[in-house]
Amino acid sequence: MEARSDPRSGAPVLAHTLRADNGRLIGVLTLNSEKTLNALSLAMIDLLSAQLSAWAGDERVAMVLMRGAGDKAFCAGGDLQELYASMLAHRDSARRGDVLGNGYANDFFGREYRLDYQIHTYPKPILCWGHGIVMGGGIGLMAGARHRVATEKTRLAMPEIGIGLFPDVGGSWFLSRMPGGLGLFLALTGAAVNAADARHVGLADRVLAHADQPRVIESLQRQPWGDDGAANDRLLGAVLRDAEQAQAVPPAAGPLRRHQELIGGLCGHDTLERVLAAFAECRTDDAWLAKAVAAPARGAPGSLSLAWRLLERAPYLSLADVFRMEYGVALHCAAHGDFAEGIRALLIDKDMQPAWRPASATDHFLDSPWAPLAHPLANLHHQNRRTT
């Protein structure tokens, strides 16, 4: 697709290519739902996946840039309105006892996770420009990109415990691999981190001013792109490195890094109950940390339990197996968990008074609703093809 998409068309994803000086193409994907902070809809998922597939097979395309429309967000997470409606309809249907009975939830999570895995394993370098709000499903898109830029306004968070879900979209994978209990802390608190902290925990590779994007693109168009994906990857990395080094003042350490030792102690206990007790006993004058340690007390107990158990399992699984595991858990949450109640309290009635179920209600949510060979994501490759 070489024609530039018209921003006025209302298409949820705009796709076009930029021609480099040597004739190679740079694919550009823009999430185009500024009014919803580029929330990830099923239509957006399908368009992104289809275009990435087309460019993967186009030898003229050397790399892909993903970004969000507007100045407020790359992607603020999944579009929850349709999911909420589907959960209510499912609970009133003849299939209400069937975890697989919600067709929309099956489609949404299955295709979203396939897209995330596609990005993780994409054969060409992807640059994700993670400006502004990047939450939930937005982090799912950004985490798998080979090159990830955060900016002065980037705020990343996995706040799912507050809506009765859990840190999904591969969150079990990348959170469990963060050092010193930082991933567990982010999973249980939903705390937002800035660009410096995003880089510290491996969710961003470079920190650049958002105003530098046009200059970065111009530099990319001057590169001698070729047929070698690894060489193209190095070219892209060098452009971003040079852009970062040209900045006068490096970003200061963020609160996550400043409190890393304390957080490690809080999260270093051997049971979820002890970790949550340590949070409750924590006394601090730091507003960011105080807000974070108070958050689990308002979250869904079942979501906290799921986050703990998923992060325990994920280090022993392949990336593909993590997505398969999360898919089943997400459908359990949609069918029988607190997910609908969390959305109702936050976005529908906005009373901020969710009636959570006890944590024990989610004890069976890690049981797969499919036989192993019948899993819809069974054909995901077990190995991540991306060169690091």
340 lies in some domain: yes
Cα–Cα distance for residue pair 75/131, rounded to 1 Å:
9
- Structural domain of 350: 7-374
Q: What is the CATH number of the domain that holds 248?
A: 3.90.226.10
| pLDDT tens string 140-160 | 999 999 999 999 999 999 999
383 lies in some domain: no
Cα–Cα distance for residue pair 165/155, rounded to 1 Å:
20
Divide the 388 residues of the chain into consecutive groups of 10 and give the mean pLDDT of each group. 52 97 98 97 98 97 98 96 97 95 98 98 98 98 98 97 98 96 98 97 96 97 97 98 87 91 97 98 97 98 98 97 98 97 97 97 96 91 46
Cα–Cα distance for residue pair 174/152, rounded to 1 Å:
23
214 lies in some domain: yes
Say which amino acid occupies 264. Answer: G
| pLDDT tens string 123-145 | 999 999 999 999 999 999 999 99
Query: What pLDDT was estimated at residue 250?
Result: 74
35 lies in some domain: yes
Instruction: List all residues 6 or more positions away from 304 whose beta carbon is below 8 Å from its beta carbon.
Output: 161, 188, 272, 276, 296, 359
Q: What is the DSSP letter of 171?
A: H
Query: What pLDDT was estimated at residue 53?
Result: 97
| Number of structural domains the chain divides into | 1
Number of C-beta neighbours around residue 210 at 10 A = 15
Query: What pLDDT was estimated at residue 6?
Result: 55
272 lies in some domain: yes
Element (H, E) at 25: strand 25-31
Say which amino acid occupies 289. Answer: L
336 lies in some domain: yes
CB 331 within 8 A of CB 105: yes
359 lies in some domain: yes
Query: What pLDDT was estimated at residue 174?
Result: 97
108 lies in some domain: yes
